[in-house]
Structure 1
């Protein structure tokens, strides 16, 4: 007899009282057959769990062995065992990266250098047994890490789903496009910081004086005969109204309307005419 599961469903049905009909909610139960057990998935889950338990046991064993070896020369025991953890965490980290790249064989190739870290860890465990006078036991202990790594390699290969060449190229193109957008976020943030730094620097310099310290602007040539040829002062960035008036005068601009236009252009777009004229009169008196 096939296994079933009970599912509660609902539907709208007409219900009439005194000649008036309304749709009301009717709840009912339905027996649905259960799909057969996916024994392949169950077995794979069990194997993965077993590999995880073996990996944890391998870490504990090799950490205790290598920590005891390093403790012979390191004054601080905690430091010796902390360093011992690195040996196994190195190849475990490489396996985790290989798992993340299980759909891309090219990217999964580099994390397989974890075998080097595994070999170093096994050598350290064997050395501890040899120093302790139990070389055979040290070899058996070193095999624990080797078996754990070998089992995880088999599990990872079983989980890996390599893509065909065309699909892999499509994935690489999409990954590159997304990576480019992500990189531009950082680049735009960097450019914004640089532009803000330049603006702040210019404001700090122009806020103290209209001209660089120690420099006197050269007086312009006499252009009274041709007012249209009067050169416009250079835009030096944000400055005070007084600095703008002095800059205009130093460039030979004495017409109040032109001075006011220049002040509004480089200092304050809302500068009042009477304020500019007052500063202009003060500058002419002190000249």
Structure 2
């Protein structure tokens, strides 16, 4: 059995002049070397070969289809469009690779890749036929077919499909996380809509100072009850400090009422400690 030398460390006591300290001591050990994983080596080599074949296929197809399209347009545009043919089915294979643990999700990219491959092969064959070189067009189209076939075999070897119950569990987890992710965008959209409504209402209130909502005088019992103090209407986007200052100026003295007002007109996630800090600063004697 083959072994290799590995250096390791350990703490050992070391005494000088009667005082002991723990110090690092390095020592060598022989550990067994696992046998070479030839299966992994072969798979890596085959994957690398498939990558080389894919690059060669892109170069050949782009040159062939680009020359075909250059008969009707300028060369740069023709060759740029020619690169699309193989890049589409290669992108479909990349999506199939990402879905290698989900056979159901991998079906559509695989089928779309076959369709894109067929179109690319027809385009390469058409170039040979128009150039009166049908045999070269046939062989050139076979290059794309061989590259796609090679990558299909490699992807199927890498694929690790899950059993039915495990796949259902993965789908449920994916749906739960996807729902939470979707709610982030939904909440952001709702916040934008609420801010737009608040700004519109503030603009309408500023244009009509005699509106009933602004001119209304609170009853005496409401003015005497701190928990039910009248809150001023928002006058536009506010910071937490502006909202606290507005609440104090309108006679709202209860910290809970001030916090509710701040969360309504300034920041729905405002912290109670931040509001209390602003309140202490405003209440300090000048």
Residue of structure 1 equivalent to 2:156? 157
1:105-184 matches, cutoff 5 A:
105-112=103-110, 113-184=112-183
Residue of structure 2 equivalent to 1:104? 102
Residue of structure 2 equivalent to 1:222? none
Secondary structure of the corresponding residue to residue 103 of structure 1: coil
CA offsets, 1:24-76, max 9 Å, x none?
A: 321111121211100000000000000000000000000000000001111x2
1:18 Cα deviation from its structure 2 partner: 4.8
Secondary structure of the corresponding residue to residue 8 of structure 1: strand
CA offsets, 1:156-206, max 9 Å, x none?
A: 000000000010000000000000000000000000000000000000000
CA offsets, 1:210-231, max 9 Å, x none?
A: 357xxxxxxxxxxxxxxxxxxx
Residue of structure 2 equivalent to 1:56? 55
Residue of structure 1 equivalent to 2:240? none
Q: Please list every run of 5 or more consecutive structure 1 residues that lacks an aligned counterpart in the other structure.
A: 213-232, 273-287
Residue of structure 2 equivalent to 1:81? 79
1:1-287 matches, cutoff 5 A:
2-74=1-73, 76-112=74-110, 113-210=112-209, 236=213, 239=214, 244=215, 265-266=231-232, 269=247, 270-271=249-250
Contact 2:231–2:250 (Cα < 8 Å) also in 1: no
The CA RMSD measured in Å over matched residues stands at: 2.5
Secondary structure of the corresponding residue to residue 9 of structure 2: strand
Secondary structure of the corresponding residue to residue 168 of structure 1: helix
Comparing 263-272 with 43-52, greater Cα deviation is found at 263-272
Question: Residues 266 and 24 of structure 1: is their aligned pair in 2 closer, same or farther, counting only changes over 3 Å?
Answer: closer
| TM-score, scaled relative to structure 2 | 0.75
Question: Residues 206 and 22 of structure 1: is their aligned pair in 2 closer, same or farther, counting only changes over 3 Å?
Answer: closer
Question: Residues 123 and 211 of structure 1: is their aligned pair in 2 closer, same or farther, counting only changes over 3 Å?
Answer: farther
Question: Residues 33 and 266 of structure 1: is their aligned pair in 2 closer, same or farther, counting only changes over 3 Å?
Answer: closer
1:152 Cα deviation from its structure 2 partner: 0.2
1:12 Cα deviation from its structure 2 partner: 2.0
Secondary structure of the corresponding residue to residue 101 of structure 2: coil
Q: C-alpha separation between the residues in 1 aligned to 2:20 and 2:87?
A: 71
1:20 Cα deviation from its structure 2 partner: 4.3
Q: Please list every run of 5 or more consecutive structure 2 residues that lacks an aligned counterpart in the other structure.
A: 234-245, 252-286
| TM-score, scaled relative to structure 1 | 0.75
Q: C-alpha separation between the residues in 1 aligned to 2:19 and 2:65?
A: 85
Structure 1 residue runs of 4 or more that deviate by more than 6 Å after TM superposition: none
Q: C-alpha separation between the residues in 2 aligned to 1:50 and 1:271?
A: 76
Question: Which structure has the larger Rg?
Answer: 1
1:13 Cα deviation from its structure 2 partner: 2.3
Secondary structure of the corresponding residue to residue 204 of structure 1: helix
